[in-house]
Chain A
Amino acid sequence: MADLRANFLGIKSPNPFWLASAPPTDKQYNVLRAFEAGWGGVVWKTLGSQVKNVSSRYSSIDYGGTKMMGFNNIELISDRPLDINLREIAECVRLFPDRAMIVSLMADNTREKWHELIAQVEDTGAHGLELNFGCPHGMTERGMGAAVGQDPEIAKMVVEWVMEKATLPVITKLTPNVHSVVPTGRAAVEGGTNALSLINTIQSVTGVDLDTFVPNPYVAGKSVYGGYCGPAVKPIALKMLTTIAQDPVTAPLPISGIGGVSTWKDAVEFMLLGASNVQVCTAVMKHGFRIVEDMCDGMNNWMDEKGFKTLDDFIGKSVPTITHWEDLDINYHIVANINQDKCIHCGLCYIACEDTSHQSINLTFGNPYNTYSIKEDECVGCNLCKLVCPVDSCITMVEQRKGDEYLNWKEFQRRGLPLNDH
């Protein structure tokens, strides 16, 4: 049995699965249910000055029969009275002392307000603070949330205010609504933050209601941009995470990975790309807290199979494999192969290659089943046929190197080698 215990900035949790700051962590009732279900920790929904919400607040993207591939909200930070939140946080810490309790904060834009809020939260017994520099709606108009995260100088200043006062570990949560998360990440490091988390939600319009003509979510005939999350944003989150994990300034800090984590596999991917733990929201909003059972179980089994005893054995392991395009090995070449015994003759590989790629697949007409085979000389090894094939390992990519030695683009140019030879 692998050891799933996580230690993030000295904050211990029985597993690396935390609930992200969001509706599921808005109150004691939910958080206690989450802890009972087995979640390792929570980031309590952002505390700040009083807010007022609208309805509706959520909308989502369905794809190919799957609901909520992407999810979007226009909810604000916690709309519950601060004193109730603080009391409930303390109660949850008392009832589940082994779980991580982080509190998300978004104070008004003055040093005093931040100091005041931090003092109040530290009195609850919570284990850490997360600074909400990402909320993309509602708060930005008042110069908070993403308005902070989008300006490295302001971000640095606010982190500095926080670090003057905070005795607990501080995590700075980054907004993805920037061309790169690295400048804000560096600013937060320079301001003294202890850790980073990313990503917050991405500004989005999920769609337009074809009857009312009003985009979703619908609020009395109007809508606004909402924050996008869920499985659809995972690739973007992983990319942003990797840039933070690779940057020399931000890399030394622990990172909490957020953005479409729905299964143990997603979590492993985030951790391989540098996250020390993960935060989950949309998946529990879709399925409830019970999904943590398979997340723990699946990660445990995977670690056992790979021979990893602790999380540290694999955190960040994949980071060095993401390089620059010009460093890729040009001599590496693969061609597709169709296993005729497994082929179900759906023709998806053929039409994808024929219409959109390199016309590298032969079609032999049959009734009713056609036969498809690869024209090896034409195949550029793009992989598209394998991706569209509905059958596991029916199409495989077979290595056919163009040369024994590693050859990258820079060297290729230096030697003046001919273009387009494969």
Chain B
Amino acid sequence: MPILNNRLTAEQYEQNFSDIHPPFESREAALVEANRCLFCYDAPCTKRCPTSINIPKFIKQITTDNVKGSAYTIFDANIMGGGCSKVCPVEKLCEGSCVYNLLEEPPIPIAKLQRYSTEKAIAHKWPLFQRKPETGRKVAIVGAGPAGLSCAHVLSREGVDVTIYEKEAKGGGLMTYGIAAYKVTPEFCEDEVNFITSLGGIDIKYGQELGKDVSLADLQANYDAVYLGIGVGVARQLDIPGEDLAGVEDAIRFIYDIREKGYPSIPVGDKVAVIGLGMTAIDAATQAKRLGAKEVTIVYRRTQAEMPSTEVELNLAKLDGCNIIWLASPKEILGENGQVTQLICNVMELGVPDASGRRSPVETGETITLNVDMVIKAAGQVPYEALVSSNQLNHWSGKIAIDSNCATNIPAVFAGGDCVNGGKEVVDAVQAGKDGARAILNFIKSE
């Protein structure tokens, strides 16, 4: 049972990783759906969007062929509105609250319409925004992910010069490195970053890692304020025997490699187990299958009612032929010659509800054994605790603590996104970046 790369033909890779959410083929197709929109007042879809995009407005603008205005409406609220239209779990956000659901009718395909406008804007490099006159102020941002880019864009629009320090070679953060390639292509991620920085006043310095190539103290000394949008790090350890065997992988690393190295060079096993059932777990499982793994099994310690992933995501995995074992918690990974051969799981059952009403899984005493040659860990991500504490930042288990003004305990240092909340959707990070920028603007003004 070998772990092999290059399992498929070029055509198969191409097909397996092509866009799973195809865009509208034509203006007319978009208009059919856009015209279904009721143009709700105080629309539920907007309220459910973490960035509060005025959705009825941008859809109305599509119906009048005001695509440029539509793109502005989206980007003004969410500068990563293009990427979000591809990766947002819309079924639990905007589309999930569309009033058509209450009529038992299919909701407006908001994401697809959002994509219709934003892709045009990005492809045609529409200069939708203009900077206000330079203020002479400068802000350093650590991390060119959704939070950092969003923060940078708002600041630059207000005439503040921004320098982003990014440890990777490309911007986009999780959007570029942490999401299944069939949802958003590397080319799109690059175009998106370029679209954001085309505003001007945003300089991204790549290959600059906080605590290594650049220090917080230097940034504090050289800028009017600092924004930390450093995200979260590697996958949570399972803390079970056998975790160091060859063939045990971290989902974040696995997905990163797929995006960085090209599909044929990524090795996968014949029989792969994925631990966890969040978005990252689904992305890892489906992509392992699409890379040519013969059997992929998702192992989750709770039931479907508790899973963090949406049903739409779960169905993606099911349609890709992934198996799901509910109520199974990894106990031990066995191997031969240093290579993974088996995953042993405790069979769980839901215990009595705790104070919060949540029924935690408890061991039944029984176990099941899966024959596997690869284990991908996707049981949540861990913040950069060492980095955070070494910089004397207050934190909660590595999650940076901020006040209601997005400020950390260190003067003029602000933070937001996954490094604060521990890991949420891209769209949440974009909003965090906006909030951070507003706080920084107030701070700069009052200085």
B38 adjacent to A346 (CB under 8 Å): yes
Stretch at the interface among B39-47, B134-142, B329-337, B433-441: B39-47
Cβ contact within 8 Å between B99 and A345: yes
Assess whether A346 is in contact with B41, with CB atoms less than 8 Å apart.
yes
B47 with A347: CB separation less than 8 A: no
- Interface segment out of the listed A232-240, A284-292, A363-371: A363-371
Given the contacts A344-B103, A345-B99, A345-B102, A65 and B35 also touching, CB distance less than 8 Å:
yes
Q: Is A350 an interface residue (CB 8 A)?
A: yes
Using CB atoms, name the residue of chain B closest to A66.
Answer: B35
Query: Could you list 15 examples of A-B contacts with CB < 8 Å?
Result: A64-B63, A65-B32, A65-B34, A65-B35, A344-B103, A346-B38, A348-B41, A350-B41, A363-B42, A368-B47, A368-B48, A369-B44, A369-B97, A390-B38, A391-B103
A:327-352 near B, CB below 8 Å: 344-348, 350-351
Q: How far is the CA of A171 from the CA of B99 in the complex (A)?
A: 52
**Whole-angstrom distance between the Cβ of B110 and the nearest chain A Cβ:** 13
Interface residues of B (CB under 8 A from A): 31-32, 34-35, 38-45, 47-48, 63, 97, 99-100, 102-103
Check A348/B35 contact, CB under 8 A, given A65-B63, A368-B47, A391-B103. Answer: no
Residues from chain B with Cβ under 8 Å of A367 in the complex: 47
B38 near A348 with CB under 8 A, answer yes
Closest to B38 in A: A346
Instruction: Give the complex CA separation of A348 and B41 in angstroms.
Output: 6
Q: Are B44 and A368 in contact (CB under 8 A)?
A: yes
Chain B residue nearest to A351 (CB atoms) is B41
Closest 5 CB pairs of A and B: A347-B41, A65-B35, A368-B44, A351-B41, A368-B47
Closest residue of chain A to B48 (Cβ to Cβ) is A368
Interface secondary structure of A, over-half rule:
loop
Which residue in chain B gives the minimum CB-CB distance to A390?
Answer: B38
Bound Cα distance from A347 to B42, whole angstroms? 7
Query: How many Å lie between the Cα of A65 and that of B31 in the bound state?
Result: 7
Interface of B: prevailing SS: helix
Bound: A367/B31 CA distance, A = 29
Residues on B with C-beta less than 8 A from A346 are 38, 40-41, 43, 99
- Could you list which residues of chain A lie within 8 angstroms of chain B, going by C-beta atoms? 64-65, 344-348, 350-351, 363, 365, 367-370, 390-391
Seed contacts A65-B32, A348-B40, A368-B48; 12 additional CB < 8 Å A-B pairs: A65-B35, A65-B63, A344-B99, A346-B40, A346-B99, A347-B41, A347-B42, A367-B47, A368-B45, A369-B97, A370-B42, A390-B38
- Bound complex: CA A365 to CA B40 (Å): 14
CB distance from A392 to the nearest CB of B (A): 10
Q: In the assembled complex, which residues on chain A have CB atoms less than 8 Å from the CB atom of B32?
A: 65
- Rounded to whole angstroms, the CA-CA distance of A354 and B63 in the bound complex is 25
Q: Tell me if B31 and A345 are in contact (CB < 8 A).
A: no
Most buried by B among A346, A365, A370, A391: A346
Instruction: Return chain A residues, CB-CB under 8 Å to B103.
Output: 344, 391
A65 to B35, CA, bound (A): 6
Q: Are A368 and B97 in contact (CB under 8 A)?
A: yes
Contacting residues, chain B, for A347 (C-beta < 8 A) = 40-43
Chain B nearest CB: distance from A349 CB in Å?
9
Bound-complex Cα distance A348 to B32 (A) = 21
Chain A residues near B34: list those with CB within 8 A.
Answer: 65
**Who on chain B is nearest to A370 by CB?**
B42
On chain A, the residues within 8 Å of B44 by CB distance are 345, 368-369
Residue of chain B at shortest CB distance from A347? B41
Among A65, A348, A351: residue with most chain B CB under 10 A? A65
**How far in angstroms is the closest Cβ of chain A from B94?**
9
Distance of A368 Cα from B94 Cα, bound (Å): 10
Q: In the complex, A369 Cα to B102 Cα: how many Å?
A: 11
Q: For residue B42, give the distance in angstroms from its CB to the closest CB of chain A.
A: 5
Minimum CB–CB distance for B52 against chain A, Å: 11
Nearest-neighbour CB distance to chain B for A58, whole angstroms, equals 20
Taking the nearest CB of chain A, how far is it from the CB of B64, in angstroms?
11
Given A65-B63, A368-B48, decide whether A344 and B102 contact each other with a Cβ distance below 8 A.
yes
Chain A nearest Cβ from B46, distance in angstroms: 8
Across-interface contacts of B45 in A (CB, < 8 A):
368
Docked complex Cα distance between A76 and B398 (Å): 81
Name the B residues within 8 Å of A344 (CB-CB).
Answer: 99-100, 102-103
Q: Measured between alpha carbons, how far is A143 from B63 in the docked complex, in Å?
A: 43
Taking CB atoms, residues of chain A closer than 8 Å to B102 are 344-345
User: How far apart are the CA atoms of A367 and B50 in the complex, in Å?
Assistant: 13
CB neighbours (8 Å) of A365 from chain B are 42
Shortest Cβ distance from residue A386 to the other chain B in the assembled complex, whole angstroms = 15
Provide the bound-state CA to CA distance between A351 and B45, in Å: 17
The interface residues of chain A lying within 8 Å CB-to-CB of B40 are 345-348
CB distance from A125 to the nearest CB of B (A): 47
CA gap between A369 and B99 in the complex, in Å: 9
How distant is the Cα of A41 from the Cα of B100 in the complex, in angstroms?
A: 44
* Cβ distance B59 to chain A, nearest Cβ, rounded Å: 12
Name the distance in Å between A207's Cβ and chain B's nearest Cβ.
13
Partner of B35, one of A64, A363, A368, A390: A64
List, in ascending order, chain B residues with CB within 8 A of A64's CB: 35, 63
A369 to B32, CA, bound (A): 25
**Nearest B-chain residue to A372, judged by Cβ:** B41
- On chain A, the residues within 8 Å of B99 by CB distance are 344-346, 369
Distance, CA A367 to CA B47, complexed state (A): 7
A350 and chain B: residue at smallest CB distance: B41
Give the distance in Å from the alpha carbon of A344 to the alpha carbon of B40 in the complex: 10
Tell me how far the C-beta of B47 lies from the nearest C-beta in chain A, rounded to whole angstroms. Answer: 4
Are A348 and B39 within 8 A (Cβ)? yes
Closest to A391 in B: B103
The chain B residue with its CB closest to the CB of A392 is B103
Closest to A65 in B: B35
A193 to chain B, nearest CB (A): 45
- Quick one: which of B32, B42, B43, B102 has the most chain A CB within 10 A? B42
A69 to chain B, nearest CB (A): 13
Bound Cα distance A391, B104 (Å) = 12
Residue of A nearest to B47 (CB): A368
B38 to chain A, nearest CB (A): 5
Report A402 CB to chain B, min CB distance, Å.
31
Q: How far is the CA of A346 from the CA of B38 in the complex (A)?
A: 7
CA distance A105 to B12 in the complex (A): 69
Report the separation of the CA atoms of residues A365 and B42 in the bound assembly, to the nearest whole angstrom: 9
Q: How far is the CB of A364 from chain B (nearest CB, A)?
A: 11
Smallest CB-CB separation from B46: which chain A residue?
A: A368
Chain A residues near B42 (CB, 8 Å)? 347, 363, 365, 370
A351, A368, A391 — most chain B CB neighbours (10 Å):
A368
Residues of B within 8 Å of A390, CB to CB, are 38
Chain A residue, CB-CB nearest to B34: A65
